[in-house]
Chains A and B, each alone.
Chain A
Amino acid sequence: MNIYGIRAIYHFEMARTFRTLWESIVAPVLTTSLYFIVFGKAIGSRMGDIDNVSYGAFIIPGLVMLNLLNESISNASFGIYMPKWAGTIYELLSAPVSWFEVLIGYVGAAATKSVMLGLLILGTARIFVPYEIAHPVWMVAFLLLTAVTFSLFGFIIGLWADSFQKLQAVPLLIVTPLTFLGGAFYSIDMLPPLWQKITLFNPVVYLISGFRWSFYGIADVDVAVSIGMTFGFLMTCLIFVWWVFKTGYKIRH
């Protein structure tokens, strides 16, 4: 195991984050605050409680997930896309590191950053809405698992993309709609029966539902299913990445 190699990649990626620390913090904190002002206060005051949870508190887990997914994907995909774009990937390819080590470095850094951001948003939310966390250990577990899984997913996108457009297309065209339709802002019982069924094909539903359960003990789907699905996504991404490295797909000429 090339520990120094993993550390070098991890530090390199974290340094990139801290160089843009201000943007990294201000933008999500600002948008989250706007969500709380608009949905939590203005619209939320007209909404009834959902399962005895105020609407403002109800949307917190969904908002955190929304940011976690976007940040994980964009950090990891950007992280590996940049060296490809700038040509500096030659060094990675010629270094005595296995692809698993490269993965740990990039995905580890991306996941670290998005977990930090998730916690920051939770902190910001506290300013607007009081809330309790019923199962803190599970809350952290969901946070970490989701961050790692979607950083892996982002890494795959970064490897696959050969233009900035493609890099942004997947998060914008697939992940954002799935998150919005994944019950971030509503409980799926509020949907008509047919849509309740269709929604179950949306993987984000399981993530948000499980995460929300760790806060309030309420869930759209059984929490065991959420945990199973989350691990399932993680395994799927791992297997896919393994295949990518095994075949050298889009990496080595």
Chain B
Amino acid sequence: MKTATAAMTANSSTPIISVRGVNKTYAGGFQALKKIDLDIKRGEIFALLGPNGAGKTTLIGLICGIVKATSGTIIADGHDIMRDYRAARATIGLVPQELHTDAFESVWATVKFSRGLFGKAPDAAYLEKVLRDLSLWDKRNAKIMTLSGGMKRRVLIAKALAHEPTILFLDEPSAGVDVELRHDMWRMVRTLRAQGTTIILTTHYIEEAEDMADRIGVISKGELIVVEDKAVLMRKLGKKQLTLTLRRPMTGIPAGLSAWPLVLSDDGHVLVYSFDAQEEETGIAELLRTLAEHGIEFKDLRSRESSLEDIFVSLVHRPKGTQE
């Protein structure tokens, strides 16, 4: 107890999870992860964002002990996950992507099992609280197979929380989940974070990362392309766009405007100007003046910031080697 508290205060700035030079090649020869280096900060919500097959589940599996790394080291809460696997795993809770449940068990039996399996003494009051928080208390005696998909997802969350982990992994938590559960889940995630739990979630929904995360790691084809504070990422890579709806369609961009990064829509009705949101001088005033000089009139004008989605698409489709 004393050492744990000491470690907490001493390490509050050191990462809670540290992944170093991790590679994973599956038995078939497929390399699912390439030289991953990643630090998760204590107490943050970290979103691992990437398309299907990017390697998110593999990376989580490595940290949780389900998948064996081909090379590299992983430290969880100060413990090497291989040498000191007991201490490392005792701190981690995992909600898997797939709805793997014991059909014939009752909800209560299965959470009780999880708590015991992770080496914790029985604590009915704590488990009751977990079930109540997840609106599962009324279903505690129901067999899991009688529950809906959303309820099963709640059961998996309850199982993951049964041993009071300090690190919680949520692998695609909102896949196939209704609005109500998503709402409950995010409320729970924020509460857990407020209590000091570190949360790592994977998603291919960009809005989810945008809503929830403090930091975002983008993974694509087994490579971690970027890891950044959400705000910084959006600022750094964010673009603004000015959309002009023209009064009269054009067949092409006049020669005098070729210096501007303009894109004309196919029907010639809409002109889009992209500019860096970071720049002091956006160039809008000058563009509008130049348009007027060319006699181009517009009936509407809108500007918008690029979403994380745009950033993501640009990152993932950026040719290799250009990310720095």
Q: Which residues of A line the B interface, CB within 8 A?
A: 2, 4-5, 7-9, 11-12, 15-16, 19, 86-88, 90-98, 248, 252-253
Contact with A along B213-236 (1 / 0, CB 8 A): 000000000000000000000000
Bound Cα distance A88, B105 (Å): 12
With A90-B66, A96-B85, A253-B68 known as contacts, the answer to whether A19 contacts B117 (CB < 8 A) is no
* B116 with A94: CB separation less than 8 A: no
B26 within 8 A of A: yes
Asked if B113 and A11 sit within 8 Å, CB to CB, the answer is: yes
Q: How far is the CA of A187 from the CA of B196 in the complex (A)?
A: 70
**Is A16 touching B114 in the complex (CB atoms < 8 A)?**
no
Q: Is A90's CB under 8 angstroms from B117's CB?
A: no
Partner of A253, one of B61, B102, B109, B120: B61
In the bound complex, residues from chain A placing their C-beta under 8 Å from that of B103 are 86
Which residues of A sit under 8 angstroms from B26, Cβ to Cβ? 253
Beta-carbon contact of A96 and B121 below 8 Å? no
Contact of A87 among B64, B86, B98, B113 (CB under 8 A): B98
Closest partner residue, chain A, to B112 (CB atom): A8
Count the B residues whose beta carbon is within 8 Å of the partner chain — how many?
37
List 30 A–B pairs whose Cβ atoms lie within 8 Å, in order of A's numbering.
A4-B116, A4-B120, A4-B122, A5-B117, A8-B116, A11-B113, A12-B113, A15-B109, A16-B104, A86-B100, A86-B102, A86-B103, A87-B96, A90-B100, A91-B100, A91-B114, A91-B159, A94-B64, A94-B66, A94-B92, A95-B117, A96-B85, A96-B86, A96-B87, A96-B90, A248-B68, A252-B67, A252-B68, A253-B26, A253-B61
Contact status A91-B117, CB under 8 Å: yes
B21 CB-CB contact with A under 8 Å:
no
Task: Say whether B65 faces chain A, with CB atoms less than 8 Å apart.
Answer: yes
Interfacial residues, chain B to chain A (CB-CB below 8 A): 26-27, 61, 64-68, 85-90, 92, 94, 96, 98, 100-105, 109, 112-122, 159
A-B contacts, CB under 8 A, total: 86
Q: DSSP class of A's interface residues: helix, strand, loop or mixed? A: helix
- B65–A93 touching, CB < 8 Å: yes
**Cα of A253 to Cα of B113 in the assembled complex, Å:** 24
Provide the residues of chain A in CB contact with B102, threshold 8 Å: 86, 88
B74 to chain A, nearest CB (A): 13
Q: Which chain B residue has the least Cβ–Cβ distance from A82? A: B102
A8 to B104, CA, bound (A): 16
Q: Within the complex, which residue of B66, B88, B105, B116 is in contact with A93, where a contact is CB–CB below 8 Å?
A: B66
- Please report the C-alpha to C-alpha distance between residue A147 and residue B64 in the assembled complex, in whole angstroms: 34
| Contact partners of A86 in chain B: CB under 8 A | 100-103
Instruction: Looking at the assembled complex, report how far the CB atom of B22 sits from the nearest CB atom of chain A, in whole angstroms.
Output: 14
Q: Which residues of A contact B122 (CB under 8 A)?
A: 4
In whole angstroms, how far apart are the Cα atoms of A14 and B204 in the complex? 41
5 additional A-B residue pairs with CB within 8 Å, beyond A87-B96, A96-B87 = A4-B120, A4-B121, A11-B113, A94-B66, A95-B117
Across the A-B interface, give the 7 residue pairs with the lowest CB-CB distance, nearest first: A8-B116, A87-B100, A96-B86, A96-B89, A94-B64, A2-B119, A4-B116
Chain B: minimal CB distance from A82 (Å) = 8
In the bound complex, CA of A111 to CA of B109 (Å):
22
Task: State A87–B26 Cα separation when bound (angstroms).
Answer: 18
Contact A88 B87 (CB under 8 A): no
Please tell me if the beta carbons of B113 and A90 are within 8 angstroms of each other in the complex: no
Residues of B close to A93: CB separation below 8 A: 64-66
Q: Give min CB distance, A102 to chain B, whole Å.
A: 10
- A5–B119 contact, CB under 8 A? yes
Check B101–A94 contact: CB distance below 8 A. Answer: no
Check if A2 sits within 8 Å of B65, measured CB to CB: no
List, in ascending order, chain A residues with CB within 8 A of B159's CB.
91
Question: A2, A11, A12, A16: which contacts B86 (Cβ < 8 A)?
Answer: A2
Count chain A CB atoms within 10 A of each CB in B66, B92, B159 and give the residue with the most.
B66
Q: Which of B116, B117, B118 has the most CB of A within 10 A?
A: B117
Contact check: which of B64, B67, B100, B109 meets A88 at CB < 8 Å? B100
Alpha-carbon gap, A199 to B53, bound state (A): 55
Q: Which residues of B contact A11 (CB under 8 A)?
A: 113, 116
How far, in Å, is A10 (CB) from chain B's closest CB? 10
Q: Please, which residues of chain A bring their CB within 8 A of the CB of B104?
A: 16, 19
A87 to B102: give the CA distance in the assembly, Å. 9
Chain B residues lying within 8 Å of A88, measured Cβ to Cβ, are: 100-102
Name the residue on A nearest B159 (C-beta): A91
A108 to chain B, nearest CB (A): 14
Q: How far is the CA of A90 from the CA of B130 in the complex (A)?
A: 21
Complex interface: chain B residues within 8 A of A4 (CB): 115-122
CA distance A9 to B104 in the complex (A): 15
Residues of A within 8 A of B100 (CB): 86-88, 90-91
Smallest CB–CB gap between A5 and chain B, Å?
5
